[in-house]
Structures are given as structure tokens and as C-alpha cells.
Amino acid sequence: MPESALRGVIAAIATPIDQSGEPDCARATKLARHLVDNGCDGLNVLGTTGEATSFSFAQRQKVMNAYRQAGLPLGRMMVGTGAAAVADAVALTRLAAELGFAGALVLPPFYYKGVPDDGLAAYIETIVTATAAHPIPIYLYHYPALSGLPWHPKLIRRLVDAFGGRMAGLKDSSGDMTFAREAAAISPSFKVFPSTEAVLLDARAGAFAGCISATANLNADLCQRAWGLGDAAALATAVTIRKLFDGRPLVPGVKALLAHIHGDPALARVMPPLAGFSPADTAAVTGGYDQARAKRVA
């Protein structure tokens, strides 16, 4: 199986919502096109920022198909296919492969906590076996604060040893750089993407394959200058924008700032159980963003 080409600046893209609570595929694909044309090497579709677990199976299929129908470069994108039910994870991973996505990002089956490694390995084995005819690269999604289940280094090594090149890498949303570096050392072919753009200069030097960041929806041009050119000043501005969300709900905040940037209030809508960004937080974040951009221009 050819090695996945995913690397560099990857935005964990938000999924716009229409007034009826359905994915707004027209806005979704428009945003995706904007991001790949303005600094993103790739996209992570239907991840946490994309509110994947708040959508039904059919809604997730709808978004995935819309990306293909819009002619977007799916070879530069991974898509979240993990689910609590392994049959759903298999079906979504098969669809990702058939549509031409470059990778499947797989959460652990997150309802039952404290399950043994054998259970998590069986979950991955079921997906790998069921998709052998179209062997899409699999990226593990490590976000124990939300999933309650870690892909820990011993288990990762077991999966890499068992399934070889199918285990392409990992998105690390733990914020634990010691873990990220340990995971990246497991195999030269196992590509690790921390969830913050703050690592981009280290990644450029070879520590990681890049980053997969929610705030790359907002600062991808700056991130690309850091990744492609080693521009530390651009990275500092990108990180300043990211830090605007410290202590604030990230997904509603990213969507509120997208609405500001694109002049489209509909982009601020979120799915339950998330709630919209507060007016006070919106004013603070949009003001901080505009100030950061003005300083960059000046």
C-alpha cells in the first residue's frame, strides 16, 4: 500500500449547519475549497471540530459524498470514520476508501471505558479486515479527554506490528508532547500530528508530520508560512490567534470567528449538545483576531 501523502498544515475543518440542523454541504465545500486554496496542505473532515459524533451515520455519509461531488482534492484529506458501533466505523471507512480520501481517522469506540487492549485491537482488526479490498491508511485519533480511551504507545506498537502500513499515523489531541514524541518514535512510517500549530517549526525539523489544528480554519496562511518557510514571526501570530480560545469553548468559538472572517453569520451555528459562542466571547475573540491581523500587516 502506498504511503499516505498527508503532511504539513491540516485544518480540522468545521462543518456548517443549516437552519434545520442538517449539514450545510454547500457552505461546507465552499469553506473546504477556501482552506485548501489559502494555506492548508490538507483537511481533517468530520473530526471533533467538524462535530462528527453529533451527526447521524447518514449525515456523515452526506458530507463525505458532498466533498467528492464538489471535486475537492480528497487525496489531501483524512475523514473521521470512528464510531461506537464497529459496523458503523467499517461502513464509513469503506466509504472513505471508495470516495478516494487519503486516510481514515479512527476514534476508539468511546462508550465503554476501561476496556482492555484486546478489545481495542479487535475493533481495529475488524476495520482493517473489512476494508482490505480498498486498504485506506488508518490514522488513530488520540483524544482521551473526550473519548475516555487512550491509544497508548504499547497498544500503538501492537497495532503497527500487526497491521503494518495500514497504521499510517496518529492525531494527538492530548496536548502531551512527551506522548506525541514517543508515538512518533514507534516507526519512521508512523506519522504523528499534534493538534496545535505551535509545533510547526519542530515538525518542519522532522519531529512530526505536521499539525491537525482547529484554529487552522482561521490562520492557515500564517501556519503555512511557518511550515513552508520557517517563518517564526508568522507562527507567533498564528499562536496568538489560537490562544484567543484559552478558557473558552473551542468549537463554538472557531465557528463564531469563521462567521466573522467570512461575513456569514450562518457559519456560527453548532449542533447540540454544543451551544453557540456567547456575545461577550465573540466580541473578545473577534477583536483579538482583528488586532492580531492588524499587527501582522503593520
**What's 175's DSSP letter?**
-
**What's 21's DSSP letter?**
S
What is the Cα–Cα distance from 231 to 212, expressed in whole angstroms? 18
Are 35 and 11 in contact by the 8 Å Cβ rule? The answer is yes
CA 174 to chain centre: 13
**Which phi and psi (to 5°) does residue 253 adopt?**
-70, -45
Q: Work out the angle between the directed axes of helices 216-229 and 25-37 (0-180°, nearest 10).
A: 20
Q: How far is CA 287 from CA 143, 184, 244, 294, 297, in A?
A: 30, 37, 10, 10, 15
What is the Cα–Cα distance from 132 to 59, expressed in whole angstroms? 25
Of 123, 139, 143, 171, the active-site residue reads: 171
Order the strands of the 167-172 sheet from edge to edge.
Answer: 191-194, 167-172, 138-142, 103-106, 77-80, 42-45, 8-12, 210-213
Of 139, 141, 143, 289, the active-site residue reads: 141
Q: Which residues contact 273 (CB under 8 A, 6 or more apart)?
A: 54
| 171 belongs to the catalytic site | yes
| 141 belongs to the catalytic site | yes
Residue with cell 490562544: 243
Q: Which residues are catalytic?
A: 141, 171
